[in-house]
Each structure stands twice: as C-alpha cells, then as structure tokens.
Amino acid sequence: GEEHSVPDLTGTEHQRPPSAADDGAADILQQFLTTKEKFHNLVDSEWQSLKGEKAGENEKAKASNETLVEEPDAKKLKLDPEQTSKIGKPDGKRLRGQNKSRPHIKPTTYDEKRLCVSVTQDNRECHFGEKCHFLHDVAEYLSTKSADIGESCYLYDTFGRCAYGLTCRFAKAHTTPDFKTMENAERMKAHEGRTSVKNSLSKELQNRLRKNSVDFKKSAEYLKICLKNILTRLHCEQLQVTPDKHPSVKTVGPLTDEDIIKLRPCEKKQVDFRDKLYLAPLTTCGNLPFRRVCKRFGADITCGEMAMCTNLLQGQQSEWALLKRHESEDIFGVQVEGCFPDTMTRCAELINNNTDVDFVDINSGCPIDLVYKKGGGCGLMTRTRKFEEIIKGMNYVLDVPLTVKIRTGVQQKSSIAHKLIPEMKKWGVSMVTLHGRSREQRYTKLADWDYIATCSKLASPVPLFGNGDILSYEDAMKARETGVSGIMIARGALIKPWIFTEIKESRHWDISSSERFDILRDFTNFGLEHWGSDTRGVEKTRTFMLEWLSFMCRYIPVGLLERVPQKINERPPYYTGRDYLESLMASQNVGDWVRISEMLLGPVPKNFNFLPKHKANAYK
C-alpha cells in the first residue's frame, strides 16, 4: 500500500527497464539514454569548457547561491483510489502544486540606482526638482550601471531610435562619447506614423475610471431590464403564478424587453472561426512576445491573457497590459473573468468602446481557487442564472462576437457542459471552447475527446473548439475527426510553438537545437521591444523566458524518439542530445534554464531569484 517512485530509467547506461512505457516515460532510442548524474556532469563540464575558467568561477559562486531551486524529484506514479485512501496525505489534502509561496522579486529591484526619465528624454527639466529620488548625474549613474549585454541594440537597429537611451543595456550601440543618444533618420522614417501595438490604456481614460466618471450607458439600460425582470419574478412568486402566465404589459415606444436582451445577429461584426488553429489564452506565458512567435509559426487566432474585469474597471495599468494587441495578430480577442452581471457588462462596454478586438471571451474554465471560490472561472458553470445574465448583458453592449471557454464540469464524474451548451446557444454565444477535463482533474488524465465530440453535435450550428492534449499533427487529425469546428492549443504550443506549422504541413518537424535557439532569440527581441531594453525590461524578459522554458524543456526531438510522435503525458527520461545545446535544452534544472537565458540576455543580477510559477501535475 506504499507509494512507489517511478523506476529509474538509467540502471545501466543504455538500458531501459521493460516497464518504461507503462511508467509514462517516452520511448527514446537507446543510444541517447543516460543517467541523471551523467547527464548533469556532461551539461556542466561542457558549459565550463565553453565559457572558460571565468564561467567555472561563476558556476561555483552560483552553486553556493541558495536562491536557485534544485531540479524537482521524479514524479510519483498515481495509485488506485482504493490504495490512496488507505495511505492518506499527512494534512488530509490532495497535492495540487499551486505553488503559492514562491518568492517574487520585482524587476525594479535589480537596478541599484536609476536614472531620472527627464535625463533620458533629452535632458528635460525634472518636475520633482530636489525631491526626485532618481539620479540626474550621468557620470554617477554610469559608474553603478550594470555592464552592457551586447554590441548591437535591437530597438535601434529596427526602429532607428532607442527610447531607453543611456539606461539601455545595449547603450554603446547608440550613444555618442558625450552621452547623447544617436538616431537613424532613415529607419525612423520607415516606421513613422505606424502603431505596432494597440489597446494601451491612456492616462485620460485611466483618470476617468479612477474618478468613476466613465458613462456606461448601454450597461445601465441592460441592468434596468435585469432589475425589472427580477422584480417581476418576485411579484409572480408572491402571486404564486409563473412569469409566463403573468399578464404582459404593453410598452409604448420602439424599445421592448425582447429588443434589449436579444440583440439581432446582423448587428454584430462577424468572425469566421471555422477550421482555424486557436492559440489558447495562457496566463503568464501567453504574453504578447510569445503570441508573436506563435503567429510566425501559423497560429490563426490569438487571445490575450485572462484579465480580471474589476481590475480593468479600476484602470489598473498592469491588467490593461493584458489587452495589448500586436499588428501581426489579425484575429485577436481578449479574455475576461468575473462573476457578476453588472461588472462584466460594464467591462464589456469599456472594452468595446476603447479597444480594437475581434471578439471577447468569457473565462468559465479557470480552475484556480482564487477565481473559483468567488464564483468566477469554473464557478460560473454551476451558477446558470448569473451566467445567463452575464452572457446576455455582455452580448447587448458588444459590437463583436462573444465567446465562452468552459471545462467539462467541476467534478470529475459529473460532466455538465452538455447541459449548458444548448442553453448558451439560446443566450447568444458566437463560439464555445471546451477543455476536455473537469476542474477537479486540472491537467491529470487525458482529455475526454469523445465527450467533446458529443458536445460539438449539441452546439451546432454554433462552432465548438476542442482543447486538450494536442502535441502533434496526428493528435490534431484525430481531434478534427470528432467533428469539432476547430482546435485550441495550449500546453502543446508552450512545449513546441512550431506545432502550428506541423499541423498545417502534416509533418513531424525534427527541428534542430540551433533553430529552437533562434526562436528564443526572436522572443528575446520581441520582449525587449515590449518590456524595454533597460535592466527592468531585460529582467522581465528573462523571467517570462524562464517560465516558458519550464515547458519547452519537455520537448523531445523527433530524431531521438523510438516511436513518433511524443504524447503530451509522456515524461522525458534523461537523455543526451545530438549536440550540447540540445542536451542543455533537455534539462529540467532551473539553473540550466538560467544558463540559456544568459546566452541571450547576459549574466543574471547578484540578487536574482527565480522559481517557476508552473509546477507540472501532468505526469501524475
């Protein structure tokens, strides 16, 4: 009755235990298999030989630094429910890996002394005068500034000007000997009048939101009707008659209750969702630079990360950043989360009037406690009257289609999506995305594609997208056979963003380590453009890259597999790649992800601290 670990795949150098396939490990050609110790010795020794003695000293210093977390232990096999109930957990709770106590350091803390914006922006006069906390002496700032990362600045090379001036970590590329920032007029002219990123929050709108002076005219109309309906229902209950039997009141004028709640479909902007590849709205990892990478590989539909409607209504800059849209995103939506009809309707009207989006998505699938316990995310699936009011309200104020993302249900053995989908059709949803797992499952067990197929028939003619466990074009072909209108890809895109190309070209791409490194380089450049090329921006880019690498390291190159394709629930055993970079990218160790980031973004700061947000539950 005791829990037992996954057998070590590395008993001898090139032998796999007979039961490896049953243990959830991917089948890799024997000549590439190795042991944990040999794998790390190889990665460490080659890294030191590449970087020379200096790197060796840095590694020793890093080894003594306790802020980097060691590689996690091998996942344990999940036992039968009968066995598990005998054992019990020490605190009586199921392990869920939410990782709430992880350390967090703000990127601003990596700068010892920061230069005042007035100096970087053509030596303007500082509004704060002597009260300013930042440096105004350029020589003093440069004496404490971290060393430059590289010889050329991506922002200067692309746009002809770097807005970060002296604070840029590539400043030598565009700074004159007398500390002036250079400009390239020709490149600047090529980008003149072009806005590559839309949907930023203006100061004017932020102030209006904070002063509660934004007019939500349409939302107020809808909420009046909701209130009237509630009062009618209460009145009917008192009279002990159903609302249908209650005598209807004829209204004078062009507007009726039916007009308000049922918006004519012809008034909506139409989006053709069918047969598209949809990159899921991924919290933390689905940022704008990552979406740009996926667009290059053929993603058709992209969506911003989940945004909390209350934070958007309060004008929080960090939440509004999740709505930003790059010019390469031709079909783009935003995803909002909330649990009350009034706030969700106002939020939809705010988005409709102040952003450029092709659709708005309601998150009714988020499993995290923070969201679920207040009735949002998956919680909406069990609160159908609230859900109906939210959908109808948002639909009333939006000029673009309204979509919904749901799971099969809350409990593993009690699916409710099939009951909810026919109702959502009546409420006016333009598209439904179904993740084939319940809230209780999180990411354990395989997605139920038979159930997705059933729901797809119920949803017709409303398009239904299926989501879950797609990591190859073969998985995508099987998914399409279920009759879904399209496919949403989430973790598959994080593990290998070129999956969109594989699906469109019906092939398994044996991508080289240098090509994968080029993808990371593109992400780095997009990150510097999005978050900035100063220390703050560099460290923000690094953090998001490390979060992504915690998924990307699960990819096993096609040329190393004994059986193609790799399945999403298969754990990579320890293996050596065909070259050093391929081995380094296969490491599950945070320290090795940091090494990869250092190859692109220079050495980490002294007080650097990182623990991945994502602790995978997928291989249990």
Least confident of 468-477, 505-514, 562-571: 562-571
Average of pLDDT values for 586-606?
93
Least confident of 18-32, 52-66, 214-228: 52-66
Token pair, residue 15, equals 């032998």
pLDDT at res. 587: 94
pLDDT at res. 46: 87
The DSSP output letter for 33 is: B
pLDDT at res. 212: 93
Q: What percent of the chain has pLDDT over 90?
A: 56
Phi, psi of 535 (to 5 degrees): -55, -40
* Closest of 116, 52, 146, 214 to residue 608, by C-alpha: 146
Neighbours of 18 (CB within 10 A): 8
CA dihedral 25, 31, 33, 36 (to 10 degrees): 180
Q: Is 339 a catalytic residue?
A: no
pLDDT at res. 85: 44
pLDDT at res. 71: 57
pLDDT at res. 570: 87
Which of 73 and 122 is assigned the larger pLDDT? 122
Average of pLDDT values for 257-285?
74
> Given a cut of 60, is residue 179 above it in pLDDT?
yes
Average of pLDDT values for 296-309?
96
Decide: residue 138, CB within 10 A, 0-12 exposed, 13-18 middle, 19+ buried.
middle
pLDDT at res. 193: 82
Confidence label for 399 from pLDDT (cuts 50, 70 and 90) = very high
The DSSP output letter for 283 is: T
pLDDT at res. 286: 94
Contacts of 355 (CB under 8 A, 6+ apart): 198, 199, 323, 325, 334
pTM attached to this predicted model: 0.85
Choosing from 294, 366, 455, 553, the catalytic residue is 366
> Given a cut of 70, is residue 96 above it in pLDDT?
no
Phi, psi of 486 (to 5 degrees): -170, 180
Distance from the Cα of residue 115 to its chain's centroid: 32
pLDDT at res. 398: 95
Average of pLDDT values for 158-173?
92
pLDDT at res. 243: 57
Q: At what angle do helices 535-552 and 513-531 cross, to 10 degrees?
A: 140
> Given a cut of 90, is residue 240 above it in pLDDT?
no
- pLDDT tens digits, 193-231: 888 999 999 999 999 999 999 999 999 999 888 888 778
Which of 222 and 78 is assigned the larger pLDDT? 222
- pLDDT tens digits, 422-432: 999 999 999 99
> Given a cut of 80, is residue 123 above it in pLDDT?
no
pLDDT at res. 6: 34
Confidence label for 241 from pLDDT (cuts 50, 70 and 90) = low
Which of 484 and 368 is assigned the larger pLDDT? 484
Q: What percent of the chain has pLDDT over 70?
A: 80
442: left (phi over 0), alpha (psi -120 to 50) or beta: left
> Given a cut of 90, is residue 362 above it in pLDDT?
yes
Strand partners, 464: 432
Q: What SS3 state is found at 37?
A: helix
CA angle at residue 39 from 36 to 44, to 5 degrees? 125
Q: What is the per-residue DSSP string for 149-181?
A: S-SS-HHHHHHS--TTGGGSTTGGGGB-TTSPB
Which of 180 and 433 is assigned the larger pLDDT? 433
Average pLDDT of the residues of the chain: 83
